[in-house]
Amino acid sequence: MKVVIIAGGQGTRIRSVNSEVPKAMIPVAGKPIIEWEIEMAKRQGFEDFLIITGYLGEQIRAYLGNGERWGVKIEYYQEEQPLGTAGALGYLKDRLTEDFFVFYGDTIVDIDMQRMMDFHREREADATLFVHPNDHPYDSDIVDMAADGKVRGFFLKPHPEGFVSHNTVNASLFIFSPTVLERIEVGKKSHIEKNVLPRCLAEGLRLFGYNSPEYIKDMGTPDRYEAVGEDIRSGRVEKMNFKNSRKAVFLDRDGTINREVNLLDKAEKIELIEGAAEAIRRINKSGMLAIVVTNQPVIARNLCDFDELDRIHATLETRLGEEGAYVNAIYYCPHHPDSGYPEERKEYKIECECRKPKPGMLTRAAKEWNIDLSESYMIGDGKRDYEAGINAGVKRSIMIEQNAPNALLHAVEEILSGRNS
Ligand SMILES: [Mg+2]
Ligand SMILES: [Zn+2]
């Protein structure tokens, strides 16, 4: 499978070199960004690169050559004139006849590429977009996805007043099938996120969001180079690869993050408990995953359908985003064991494996996110939450007072201080 690296675009003047270089050649932790990308892919067996160069492209060719030094094969396409992030791809239809990765040349990234490729193939996707939750969705372009990852729409900023959505955004890394290239007009300026993907979606192509907590950062400002360089040196970039297990804090929803109102059935009823967003922001900063596991018998009882539950969760993500926090995933159990009510949905009135205190949601999340349960935590306001944590084998299960201001924050502080000592 080929890896296309888009390394055109403007040059950047940096102090350490004291002349203009293309962004891909900016040294971070002692090496040009694009070299980190090539080495990361090579480690995983991807050895076939096609680099799109533009202004100052000769610097990239002079440095990387045919790739021999890295044990890889590199070909190039030199843009005659800048045609946006996608324009050059229009000329490459003959050279890209199978699925291929697309990286931007100014991104430090370390991902399990095989895992993303499997995701793409299992879904027979035309395009797979690497997405992640973002802590400022109100001023970001949102990728709106269904529960199975299928992309439903793109909400480009600026958003209208009172806008509510999930918090996933493009992280600027893709797998495309050749079908995508057919939607790029040759010789015309266009951008992947703004033009090509919306067109693919409108024309019925299968687009999927691949939600991942792995490390990916593009280079914006000089302090970003510093921070990213530090992340490389400290091992943080590599540690976040899906191949390595992660720690998580599992969180109950009602009564723990948002106010318990007894069977929350409408998005308008979501109200964050004081200190909850701050608590989750601290989990985000710590590098642990924040994963919600919630019993939602409102489905079995037919008080709320799946669309409304989706809106409830989008609202929760929006409220958290307003305060700079995000959760990595939300798992819910739609079941309830006691049947016999006239309005109920029979198919969900079952004895399942996911309803807390059973550990099903935690064990499933552990499998899907490569979480080490024995190093993870559960926090909730009920006995069922506490027991689900114990049954899943977490390191510590913590019960907090329902709807109490800052109760979640105190529990998270305790976890984080324990880790440091
Ligand atoms: Mg609760
Ligand atoms: Zn269930």
Q: Does 257 share its domain with 221?
A: no
Q: Categorize the per-residue pLDDT at 421 as very low, low, confident or very high, splitting at 50, 70 and 90.
A: very low
What average pLDDT score do residues 197-220 get? Answer: 95
**Distance of alpha carbon 378 from alpha carbon 364, whole angstroms:** 14
Task: Write out pLDDT tens, residues 290-339.
Answer: 999 999 999 999 999 999 999 999 999 999 999 999 999 999 999 999 87
User: What is the CA(259)–ligand 1 centre distance, in A?
Assistant: 9
| DSSP-assigned states of every residue in 171-220 | EEEEEE-HHHHTTS-TTS---IIIIIHHHHHHTT--EEEEE--SEEEE--
Task: Write out pLDDT tens, residues 361-373.
Answer: 999 999 999 999 9
Q: Does 346 share its domain with 390?
A: yes
Q: Does 178 share its domain with 123?
A: yes
Q: Does 21 share its domain with 61?
A: yes
Which of 252, 265, 381, 385 is catalytic? The answer is 252
> Would residue 254 show up in a list of annotated catalytic residues for this protein?
yes
Are 15 and 98 contacting, i.e. CB atoms less than 8 angstroms apart? Answer: no
Q: Does 290 share its domain with 329?
A: yes
Are 126 and 179 contacting, i.e. CB atoms less than 8 angstroms apart? Answer: yes
Q: Does 253 share its domain with 233?
A: no
User: What is the CA(394)–ligand 2 centre distance, in A?
Assistant: 20
| Rounded to 5°, angle at Cα 147 from 141 and 150 | 60
- The confidence score (pLDDT) of residue 15 equals 63
Neighbours of 101 (CB within 10 A): 23
Q: At what angle do helices 383-392 and 360-369 cross, to 10 degrees?
A: 50
pTM of the model: 0.94
Cα separation of the two ends of the chain: 45
Select from 222, 239, 256 the last residue of a domain: 239
Q: Categorize the per-residue pLDDT at 420 as very low, low, confident or very high, splitting at 50, 70 and 90.
A: very low
Q: Does 220 share its domain with 323?
A: no
The residues with which 312 forms a beta bridge, in sequence order, are none
Rg, Å, the chain Cα set: 23
Which residue range(s) make up the domain with 41?
2-239
Distances 99 to 95, 126, 154, 169, 323 between C-alpha atoms, Å: 11, 9, 23, 22, 39
Q: Does 258 share its domain with 212?
A: no
Q: Which ligand is nearest to the CA of 347?
A: 2
3-state SS class at 19: strand
Select from 239, 261, 290 the last residue of a domain: 239
User: What is the CA(335)–ligand 2 centre distance, in A?
Assistant: 4
Task: Write out pLDDT tens, residues 115-141.
Answer: 999 999 999 999 999 999 998 888 889
Residues near 65 by Cβ (< 8 Å), separated by ≥ 6?
74
- The confidence score (pLDDT) of residue 343 equals 86
> Would residue 148 show up in a list of annotated catalytic residues for this protein?
no
Which of 99, 106, 110, 254 is catalytic? The answer is 254
Residues near 248 by Cβ (< 8 Å), separated by ≥ 6?
288, 289, 290, 291, 328, 365, 366, 369, 371, 376, 377
User: What is the CA(251)–ligand 1 centre distance, in A?
Assistant: 9
Q: Does 86 share its domain with 150?
A: yes
Tokens of 111: 């991902």
Average pLDDT, the chain: 94
Are 318 and 328 contacting, i.e. CB atoms less than 8 angstroms apart? Answer: no
User: What is the CA(397)–ligand 1 centre distance, in A?
Assistant: 14
The domain total for the chain is 2
Residues near 342 by Cβ (< 8 Å), separated by ≥ 6?
none
Q: Which ligand is nearest to the CA of 255?
A: 1
Tokens of 421: 């000592």
Q: Does 306 share its domain with 163?
A: no
H-type helices in 251-373, by residue range?
276-286, 306-322, 360-369
* Count, residues in the chain: 421
Select from 177, 210, 239 the last residue of a domain: 239
Q: Which ligand is nearest to the CA of 356?
A: 2
- The confidence score (pLDDT) of residue 419 equals 57
Task: Write out pLDDT tens, residues 137-164.
Answer: 888 899 999 989 999 999 999 999 999 9
The CATH number linked to 200 is 3.90.550.10
Q: Categorize the per-residue pLDDT at 18 as very low, low, confident or very high, splitting at 50, 70 and 90.
A: low
Residues near 158 by Cβ (< 8 Å), separated by ≥ 6?
139
Q: Does 315 share its domain with 406?
A: yes
The CATH number linked to 369 is 3.40.50.1000
**Distance of alpha carbon 13 from alpha carbon 272, whole angstroms:** 45
What average pLDDT score do residues 13-23 get? Answer: 73
Q: Does 195 share its domain with 296?
A: no
Query: What is the percent of the chain where pLDDT is above 90?
Result: 87
